Structure 1
Amino acid sequence: MSSNSNISAIGQRWIELSTVDSTNNYALGLIKTNLAEHGTAVFAQEQTAGKGQRGKAWITEPNSNLILSVIVQTEFLPLHQQFVFSAAMALAVQSFFNNYTANETVIKWPNDIYWNDRKAGGILIENIISGSGSWQWAVVGIGLNINQIHFPDWLPNPVSLQQITGKRLNCLELAKELCKYLNHYYQLLQAGAFTEILQQYNNYLYKKGAMVKLKKNNAVFTTTIQGVDQSGNLLTGNTFTNSFSFGEVEWIISTK
């Protein structure tokens, strides 16, 4: 995966921290103080206040997992392509992780990384929009369970790469390898390959074509996952198609 871009490749500028509250916060701080460069990767051995989707905390054992945030320029992308950007980043992580899991890794909408109904990681993207409305930067925060084998009881379905493969792996080396995948999919975005990215995303969509249980407000219902559209809405249904935006429904996943 070579770089054809005239700007720095993702991961070319590397910052390694022993501990930090949040790699996303650190990266956002670089942007706010005008110290950001495209492709800067912030890797931490320990994160004390990691952030997950919708204000949730991301809990991770120190020195055991892949904790990475990358800063990318997004000025070439219109705001309405935010989901395609998210899909591209999810595909990069899925493709990377899939190398170690015998093609069993999928993407649970919108951008969680799943292996056999179990969550291996997630992505949190925070965007910087200028006063004029242009999309200047994105910070892509990635957390992947690598060597952790004991998890809090309240996490419903976690899994780590060590549990999957039986091998202890080097998180720093894996993070640098992941950057090559992120760079590859970033280049696809630069090339305008939005349709291809969405098609790939749907190819690896968790439970596509399957009957699932979803919850909206207090109502649980059964429906079939059809796919995700270019705006990032989840499409479900049998005879009639329903469309749900992120946060509108919850998955009811059997933890067996």
Structure 2
Amino acid sequence: MDDNDIENALNTQTDAKLSLLHFATIGSTNQYAKQLCEHTAYQTPCVVWADQQTAGVGKFSRPFYSAANGGLYTTLIMPNLLISAPKVGLFTTSLAMATVSAIQTCFNLTVDVKWVNDIYLHDRKIAGILVEQGAHNAIIIGIGINLFQQNFPNEIQKTAGNLLTAAPSETIRQQFFITLISQLYQSCFTYTNLKFLSDYKRHLMLMDHRIQLQLGRSVITGTVTDINQLGQLVIVDATTHQHRSIPAGEVTKVFP
């Protein structure tokens, strides 16, 4: 992939005066981006990407397998982006749909979303998104996508999957990267219009399913009925039989 071509294409599509930092190998693009923000008050977006991560992380600091050239590993630094606490869920769900849209555009594949923003294909996780707060009011948007990974570690062989059935050409990989970053960037400014929510619901793999949720130290069970206008998961609690909106948490089990 050609960094100059990528940067020029992104700036043409977004008009963002975006900068690009590319590494053959890095510990974690998100961690590096957070360090950058501590030392620099960015005024324009910056994209950090790597061919390989040796210490990639996902939610709850879990490791994210990031073998050389097997996927896309990137972080978008969005400067001076203020997101009110009630709308954090809406923002993160919009990023999931931006990813779904980029996949549909480039590969004509239909994928599923596991609330909040994990991407699945054939019941296997192919992508994860991690949003963090950076210094100087920057938002750090990290994403890892398995394009065609081989030899997943034993602990994730039964749960991880690939987007593609063969390694893509560099041209296709580059076009997908450009499309993905462009879609993520646009979502940062359009998520409050709620237009993506109907698509999100269609792609939500949990709809009408009975699930188990981890909420801090508590575990609850319920049936998913909706996503509300704040991007929260709406369930009917199995114990109280009342509707309940869940702003954050982890779905740990989906019952058949």
Q: TM-score band, normalised by the shorter chain? A: 0.7 to 0.9
Counterpart Cα distance in 1 of 2:83 and 2:244 = 28
Partner SS state of residue 50, structure 1: coil
Moved more, 238-247 or 115-124: 238-247
Structure-2 change in CA distance of 1:41 and 1:228 (3 Å): same
Are 1:168 and 2:174 matched, yes or no?
A: no
TM-score by length of 2: 0.80
Structure-2 change in CA distance of 1:202 and 1:129 (3 Å): farther
Q: Is the 8 Å Cα contact of residues 147 and 167 (structure 2) preserved in structure 1?
A: no
Q: Is the 8 Å Cα contact of residues 99 and 183 (structure 2) preserved in structure 1?
A: yes
State the match for 1:212 in structure 2: 210
State the match for 2:184 in structure 1: 182
1:84 to 90, 100, 104: 90
State the match for 2:151 in structure 1: 150
Structure-2 change in CA distance of 1:95 and 1:40 (3 Å): same
Q: Is the 8 Å Cα contact of residues 162 and 169 (structure 1) preserved in structure 2?
A: no
Counterpart Cα distance in 2 of 1:207 and 1:89 = 18
Q: Deviations over 1:221-246 (max 9, x none)?
A: 5x432122344432123864233343
Unmatched runs of 5 consecutive residues or more in structure 1: 131-135
State the match for 1:133 in structure 2: none
Pairwise mapping of residues 1-256 of structure 1 onto structure 2 (< 5 A)? 8=16, 12-34=18-40, 36-100=42-106, 102-128=108-134, 136-155=137-156, 156-163=158-165, 166-170=166-170, 171-189=173-191, 192-193=192-193, 195-208=194-207, 210-214=208-212, 216=214, 221=221, 223-237=222-236, 240-247=242-249, 249-252=251-254
Q: 1:206 is aligned with what amino acid?
A: M
Counterpart Cα distance in 1 of 2:251 and 2:228 = 16
Counterpart Cα distance in 2 of 1:77 and 1:4 = 26
> Displacement, 1:105?
0.8
Percent identical among aligned pairs is 23
Partner SS state of residue 134, structure 2: strand
Counterpart Cα distance in 2 of 1:37 and 1:169 = 34
Q: Which structure shows the higher helix fraction?
A: 2
Q: Deviations over 1:194-213 (max 9, x none)?
A: x22333322322232x3234
Q: 2:118 is aligned with what amino acid?
A: D
Q: Is the 8 Å Cα contact of residues 16 and 42 (structure 1) preserved in structure 2?
A: yes
> Displacement, 1:56?
0.9
> Displacement, 1:24?
0.6
Structure-2 change in CA distance of 1:99 and 1:252 (3 Å): same
Q: How many equivalent residue pairs? A: 240
> Displacement, 1:3?
8.3
Counterpart Cα distance in 1 of 2:40 and 2:128 = 27
Q: Deviations over 1:6-53 (max 9, x none)?
A: 9616xx311111111110111111211115343211110111111110
Q: 1:250 is aligned with what amino acid?
A: T
Counterpart Cα distance in 2 of 1:71 and 1:219 = 34
